[in-house]
Amino acid sequence: MAWSRKSAMFASLATALYLLGLVLRNQQLVTVAVVLLSFLTYAAFRTSHADVSSTGRRLEDEDFDEGAAFGTLNAMRQLSQPRVFEDHEIDVTLRIQNLSPLSKILEVRDSVPEVMRVKKGANYALMELGGRRETELKYTLECPLRGFYSIGPVAVRVQDTFGLFHREKEIHLYDDFLVFPKMEDIKDAFVKSKVPKIFTGAVNIRNPGEGSNFYNLREYVPGDPMRKVNWKAMARSGKVMVNEFERDAVSDIILIVDSRAMSETGPVSRNSLVYSTRAAASLAQYFLSRRDSVGLVIYGDEIMSVDRDSGKKQLYMLLTKLAGASARGNTPLRVVTNRILPHINKGSPIIIMSPLEDDKTVVDAVRDLRARNFDTTVLSPSSLEFEFDARRLDRTGYEVLKTERDILISELRGLGAHVMDWEPDMLLSTALAGARGF
Amino acid sequence: MSTSQIETTGASDTSHLYDGKVVRSSAPSRKKAAGKMTQGTELPKDAIPEVHIPTFIESLFGGPLVTKMKFLPASRSVQNLQIASAAVMVLLAVLTYVVTPVSGTPWYWISSAIGAAWLGLIIHMLVILIGIGAGFWGLFQRDQRFLLISYVFFILVSLRFAASKVSFEVDLLPEGDLAQKVLLILYAICLVMYMELSNGVIRFSMLDTSIRTQEVYVMNEKKILSRYHASLLITPIVAGVVALITLLVNLIVPAIVAIFDPIAAVRMGESVELTSVYGVALGTMIVFLVVAGMFGINLPLRIQQFRERTD
A223 in any annotated domain: yes
Q: Which of residues 70-89 of A touch B (CB under 8 A)?
A: 72
Which of B152, B155, B175 is closest to B165 using CA atoms?
Answer: B175
Chain A residues in contact with B217 by the CB 8 A cut-off are 121-122, 124-126, 137
A53 in any annotated domain: no
3-state class of B305 per DSSP? helix
Outline where A190-271 has alpha helix (H).
Answer: 231-237
For residues A28 and A150, membership in a common domain is answered with no
**Chain A, nearest residue to B182 by Cα:** A31
**Interface test mutation site (partner B, options A19, A37, A39, max chain B beta carbons within 10 A):** A39
Whether residue B187 and residue A396 make contact (CB cut-off 8 A), yes or no, is no
Q: Which of residues 276-315 of A touch B (CB under 8 A)?
A: none
A194 in any annotated domain: no
Q: Which of residues 336-375 of A touch B (CB under 8 A)?
A: none
Whether residue B33 and residue A397 make contact (CB cut-off 8 A), yes or no, is yes
Eight-state DSSP code of residue A186: -
- Overall pTM > 0.80: no
Query: A225, A245, A265 — which closes off a domain?
Result: A245
Q: Is the pLDDT of residue A376 over 50?
A: yes
For residue B39, what are the CA distances in angstroms to B30, B31, B36, B116?
Answer: 13, 15, 10, 69
- CB-nearest to B185 from A35, A126, A383 is A35
Whether residue A266 and residue B99 make contact (CB cut-off 8 A), yes or no, is no
Residues recorded for chain B: 311
CATH of the domain at A108: 2.60.40.10
For residues A408 and A259, membership in a common domain is answered with yes
Q: Which helix (H) or strand (E) holds A437?
A: none
A185 in any annotated domain: no
Query: A127, A162, A179 — which closes off a domain?
Result: A179
Dihedral angle sign, alpha carbons of residues A342, A347, A351, A352: positive
Outline where B157-220 has alpha helix (H).
Answer: 177-212
**Interface test mutation site (partner B, options A18, A24, A29, A34, max chain B beta carbons within 10 A):** A34
Dihedral angle sign, alpha carbons of residues B121, B125, B126, B131: positive
Strand order in the sheet with A104-110: A2-3, A165-171, A154-159, A104-110, A124-129, B217-219
Whether residue B192 and residue A4 make contact (CB cut-off 8 A), yes or no, is no
CATH of the domain at A330: 3.40.50.410
The one-letter amino acid code at A242 reads V
- Minimal CA separation from B264 to chain A, in Å: 25
Would an 8 Å CB–CB cutoff place A269 in contact with chain B?
Answer: yes
For residues A279 and A381, membership in a common domain is answered with yes
B176-186 pLDDT, tens digit per residue, is: 778 888 888 99
A240-266 pLDDT, tens digit per residue, is: 888 887 655 556 889 999 999 888 877
Chain B residues in contact with A113 by the CB 8 A cut-off are none
A312 in any annotated domain: yes
For residues A79 and A102, membership in a common domain is answered with yes
For residues A71 and A116, membership in a common domain is answered with yes
Q: What is the pLDDT of residue A188?
A: 56
- Reported as a pLDDT band with limits 50, 70 and 90, residue A213 is low
Q: Is the pLDDT of residue B97 over 50?
A: yes
**Interface test mutation site (partner A, options B3, B12, B109, B177, max chain A beta carbons within 10 A):** B12
**Interface test mutation site (partner A, options B18, B30, B31, B154, max chain A beta carbons within 10 A):** B31
Chain B residues in contact with A267 by the CB 8 A cut-off are 8, 12, 14, 22-25
A151 in any annotated domain: yes
Q: Report the alpha-carbon distance of residue A70 to residue A86 in Å, rounded.
A: 34
Q: What is the pLDDT of residue B104?
A: 82
Domain of residue A302 covers 252-436
Contacts of B305 (CB under 8 A, 6+ apart): none
The one-letter amino acid code at B123 reads I
CB–CB contacts below 8 A, A to B = 270
Chain B residues in contact with A5 by the CB 8 A cut-off are 59-60
3-state class of A184 per DSSP? coil
For residues A91 and A157, membership in a common domain is answered with yes
A79-125 pLDDT, tens digit per residue, is: 999 899 988 999 999 998 888 787 778 888 899 988 888 888 888 88
Asked if the interface predicted TM-score (ipTM) of this complex is over 0.90, the answer is: no
Q: What is the pLDDT of residue B56?
A: 65
Eight-state DSSP code of residue A63: G
How many distinct structural domains can be found in chain A? 4
Residues recorded for chain A: 438
For residues A231 and A149, membership in a common domain is answered with no
For residues A318 and A414, membership in a common domain is answered with yes
Q: Report the alpha-carbon distance of residue A289 to residue A311 in Å, rounded.
A: 8
For residues A131 and A230, membership in a common domain is answered with no
Chain A residues in contact with B18 by the CB 8 A cut-off are 268
Q: Report the alpha-carbon distance of residue A397 to residue A402 in Å, rounded.
A: 8
What's the average model confidence in pLDDT over B14-34?
A: 46
Q: What is the pLDDT of residue B9?
A: 38
A361 in any annotated domain: yes
Q: What is the pLDDT of residue B153?
A: 94
B264-287 pLDDT, tens digit per residue, is: 888 887 787 777 778 888 888 888
For residues A387 and A340, membership in a common domain is answered with yes
A300-315 pLDDT, tens digit per residue, is: 888 998 988 888 899 9
For residues A350 and A376, membership in a common domain is answered with yes
For residues A378 and A281, membership in a common domain is answered with yes
Whether residue A34 and residue B6 make contact (CB cut-off 8 A), yes or no, is no
A184 in any annotated domain: no
- Minimal CA separation from A97 to chain B, in Å: 14
